[in-house]
Chain A
Amino acid sequence: MVKVGSVDPTPLRADLVIEYPFTRTTGPVVGAFMTGLRDGRIVGSRRADGRVFVPPAEVDPETGDAIVDMVEVSSAGVVETWTWVDPPRPGSPWEAPHGLALIRMDGADTPMLHGVLVDSVADMATGMRVEAVWRDERVGHITDLVGFAPEGTDAIVELAAGEAASAVSTEVAGEPVRSIRTPIRLEYDFIPSAAAQEYLRAYADKRILGNRSPVDGAVFVPPRGVDPRHGVEATEMVDLADTGHVGNFCVTHLPIPGRSDLPTPYVSAWIHLDGADIGFLGLVSGCDLDDVRIGMRVRAVWKPDDELGATAENVRYWEPTGEPDVPVEQAGNQAWSAKESPDA
């Protein structure tokens, strides 16, 4: 029996990157604003009492009433509040330290957020007058504005690498802007739990670990440190065989992005290891796909010893053992049905 907690002091970690490649439709109001940016103009929306919102509000935020019309405002205005961003934030369009401000354009009643392009925080002040600095190549996006510079200066700015205008363009030249790309990229430093650390490290020795429930002895794989049925900690680790049976399966004809080594069609299956009470996901290969069936006995096909690492990818796939099948009525999840719940 191995206890959770005896982990290597240097935990396994991995970069986890989440990207949302959103394309957003603009509708007529935001679309007019984006079209204006593409044409080098700043456009706002006007409500019944004449108040002008920049960027335009689609409905009056106070009353919910529809906006009356769209109006062009000046490309110059006044800093109402500001801060200084040093170093520039990842993902932002700026490569150098810059001001960030709420700027009220002349002719507008509400301020908009954008960067202020000055050399140092000492150059920033509430009430300073600034004017728009435009990109040469504009597509109908908030970053068509490089930022705002003190009136009467020629701002020289460095744009963040990889922020080419084409990256956010969805539009046909001359047409009103109807959609914009707003990709989101978030980076995480992912560190698995102590139980998962042990599980992954054991793979390097061609071992598969499970967690035994302190309530009724049911064994869960992969180990998550808890028995999810009862909401209790499960600290006992058990070694499991690298043999089992197919509890369920699916034949997939679509390729997995990034897995060109996996020809289609392939079989993903719920593998029920001998000694475990729930299944976990694996690929079945080494036989005709038509032969894969519920109850079929399988064993792990491991990578060569010199390619083993702390990863579940060490099991390349599961192949038939040729042993007699597990009867269908006994195949699949056992923890939920075979073990009696003490609450029942």
Chain B
Amino acid sequence: MREVAIVSSAIHQVKALTLTTDVQLMVPLINEARDAVGLTQADIGFTCSGSSDFLAGQGFSFVQTLDAVGAFPPIAESHVEMDGAFALYEAWVKLQIGEVDIALVYSYGKSSPGSRRDVLAVQLDPYAVAPLWPDAYSVAALQARLLLESGAVTVEELAAIAVRSQRNAVGNPNALRASPDVTVDDVLAGAVVADPLRASDLAAEADGGCVVVLAAGDRARDLCERPVWIRGIDHRIDAHGLGVRDLTLAPSAALAAGKAAERAGFAADAVDVAELHAASTAQAHVLATAMGLGGTTSGNGVRIDPSGGSLAADTLMAAGLVRIAEAARWVSSGDADRALAHASSGPCLQQNMVCLLEGE
């Protein structure tokens, strides 16, 4: 395999980007990520983005956002109607082919103009499920109740996951929900939003975007002091239907973690930090268990969601790429040697990507 590293990233997440278009959001972010390693668009061999037309309410909205790249003269680019983490996977494959040495990956989501929890119903089975318009909070609640009633986790343990996220998020400028001294009792005192889940159990909805620059081999070493190597990356998928799989498990996350570990040469839990893309505290528990990180707050010595994770700020279509960027920052700064980043797509953790990172 060709060595590929994350050499630069930029993140911006806020509650609502009221007067800012997707293009205006991405112009400074893309420039920040390119400038940090002294690149212009002319140096970039492949550009790949992730976004959703359903958030913009506009078909093929991603072609407008290419304005932010400066796509003239014409560039080689691609787009996925998925989280940017999956755009990163495509860029990684492109780098493996060997025709290009540097790739730019970005994704963004501005869900605030619509009702995001209802828009997400459109991703469900269009025949027997979507016409009932089950909103995303309700679907997350169905999964959480199964998990609680299976005995795998308690309400208090879910609250502890919320506390972990809010405490870790302190100091993260891209987190929306942070508190240095929040307690399990505080969280449990909150009102139930979608029985059995409280607002603190549900990821904080954000608008925002993320950019990651990838480079191969010595080009990565030239561009930055400590490249963050992608040692293993894999994504797997479970059945789409909510009723046909055990929602208390995430077999595709476990499989992706195993495959990524094979390639990386170290286990998914042999990392210092792990960033999880979860829509709820219950999903965070399911993921940590599936990937062998330990189910609740402590993990097997792995620090879970040091940035607060997606629970602290969840930008639809970008939260997975943000997890990769956040995990890479822990490694590039030297605070961690190895990190796991996870990204998800589809309802109730249907599709899962695991990215194992290691410093130079």
Q: Is the CB of B132 within 8 A of A92?
A: yes
Chain B nearest CB from A178 CB (Å) reads 13
Interface 1/0s, chain A 42-61, versus B by CB < 8 A? 00000000000111010001
- Interface flag for A204 (CB, 8 Å): no
A186 near B195 (CB under 8 angstroms)?
no
- State whether B239 touches A225 (Cβ < 8 A): no
Alpha-carbon distance A24/B128, docked complex (angstroms): 12
Residue in B closest to A20 when the chains form the complex, CB atoms: B122
Selecting from B140-148, B155-163, B166-174, the interface stretch reads B140-148
The interface-forming segment of A78-86, A128-136, A286-294 is A78-86
| Residues of chain A with a CB closer than 8 A to B31's CB | 231-232
A193, B19: Cβ atoms closer than 8 Å: yes
> Separation in Å of the A85 CB from the closest CB of chain B?
6
| Shortest Cβ gap from B12 to chain A (Å) | 14
* Interface 9-mer from A106-114, A273-281, A323-331: A106-114
B57 and A186 form a contact (CB under 8 A)? yes
- Give A37's nearest chain B residue, CB to CB: B128
A55 to B91, CA, bound (A): 38
Q: Give CA–CA (A84, B141) in the complex, Å.
A: 9
A182 touches B126 (CB 8 A): yes
When distances are taken between beta carbons in the complex, the residues of chain B under 8 Å from A91 are 118, 121, 133
B23 part of interface (Cβ distance < 8 Å): yes
Q: In the complex, which of the residues B114, B121, B241 contacts A110, with contact meaning CB atoms closer than 8 Å?
A: B241
B-contacting residues, A80-98, CB 8 Å: 80-85, 89-93
Quick one: closest A residue to B135, CB to CB?
Answer: A89
Tell me if B245 counts as interface (CB < 8 A to partner A): yes
Q: What are the residues of chain B within 8 A of A83 when measuring CB–CB?
A: 137-138, 141-142, 145, 194-197
Given that A30-B127, A110-B244, A143-B131 are contacting pairs, would A233 and B142 also be in contact in the complex, using a CB cutoff of 8 Å? no
Is A224 close to B, CB under 8 A? yes
Q: How far is the CA of A161 from the CA of B344 in the complex (A)?
A: 36
Q: Say whether B204 faces chain A, with CB atoms less than 8 Å apart.
A: no
Instruction: Count chain A residues whose beta carbon lies closer than 8 angstroms to a beta carbon of B.
Output: 73
Q: Evaluate contact between A187 and B145: CB separation under 8 angstroms.
A: no
- Give the chain A neighbours of B149 by CB distance below 8 A: 81, 126
Whether A225 and B133, one on each chain, are in contact in the complex, defined by CB atoms closer than 8 angstroms, is no
A193 nearest CB across to chain B (Å):
4
Q: Which of B57, B126, B241 contacts A18, CB < 8 Å?
A: B57
In the complex, which residue of chain B has the Cβ closest to the Cβ of A224? B23
Chain B nearest CB from A304 CB (Å) reads 31
0/1 interface trace, chain A 226-264, chain B, CB 8 Å (1 if under): 111111110000000000000000000000000000000
Task: Let me know if B24 is at the binding interface, CB within 8 A.
Answer: yes
Whether A231 and B24, one on each chain, are in contact in the complex, defined by CB atoms closer than 8 angstroms, is no
B242 partner residues in chain A, CB cutoff 8 A: 102, 113
Render B30-68 as a binary contact track against A, CB cut-off 8 A, 1 for contact.
110000000011100000000000100100000000111
Give 15 A-B pairs besides A54-B243, A126-B145 with Cβ atoms closer than 8 angstroms: A53-B243, A57-B244, A83-B137, A91-B121, A100-B132, A100-B142, A102-B142, A110-B243, A110-B244, A113-B134, A114-B132, A182-B127, A188-B114, A191-B113, A344-B73
Return 24 A-B CB contacts under 8 Å, by A number. Answer: A53-B244, A57-B241, A80-B146, A81-B142, A81-B145, A85-B194, A89-B118, A100-B138, A102-B142, A110-B241, A111-B243, A112-B243, A142-B131, A182-B127, A182-B131, A184-B130, A186-B118, A188-B113, A195-B24, A226-B23, A226-B24, A231-B31, A233-B28, A343-B42
Residues on B lying within 8 angstroms of A by beta carbon are 18-21, 23-24, 27-28, 30-31, 40-42, 54, 57, 66-73, 113-115, 117-119, 121-122, 125-135, 137-138, 141-143, 145-146, 149, 194-197, 239-245, 247
List chain A positions with a Cβ less than 8 A from chain B.
7, 11, 16, 18, 22, 24, 26, 30, 33-34, 53-55, 57, 61-62, 80-85, 89-93, 100-102, 104, 110-115, 121, 124, 126, 141-143, 168, 180, 182, 184, 186-197, 224-233, 336, 341, 343-344
